[in-house]
């Protein structure tokens, strides 16, 4: 009788561990996607800042090779 209760408790702990692992994995993917979006916004803001400091129009967006595209 004692080993049966230990087996059930072990099974419950394994299931809880698996659920927590899946949740943490999903949250880490979501956080990575949010970080990528934040990095893209930061790069865009930096390009706009550089464009304004170089005296270009406010709506222009600095790309490569000194080309400007209205963003």
Tens of pLDDT along the chain (71 residues) come to 578 888 999 999 999 999 999 999 999 999 999 999 999 999 999 998 888 888 765 555 555 555 555 54
How many other CB atoms are there within 10 angstroms of residue 51's CB atom? Answer: 19
pTM for this structure?
0.63
Q: Which pLDDT score, from 0 to 100, does residue 11 have? A: 95
Separation between Cα atoms, residue 30 and residue 49, nearest integer Å: 29
Q: Which pLDDT score, from 0 to 100, does residue 37 have? A: 97
Domain map (residue ranges) of the chain: 2-70
| Cβ(59)–Cβ(48) below 8 Å | no
């Amino acid at each position: 009788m004692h080993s049966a209760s230990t087996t059930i408790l072990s099974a419950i702990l394994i299931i809880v561990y698996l659920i927590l692992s899946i949740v943490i994995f999903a949250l880490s993917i979501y956080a990575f996607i949010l970080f990528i979006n934040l990095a893209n916004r930061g790069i865009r803001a930096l390009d706009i800042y550089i464009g304004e400091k170089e005296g270009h129009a406010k709506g222009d967006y600095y790309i490569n090779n000194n080309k400007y595209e209205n963003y």
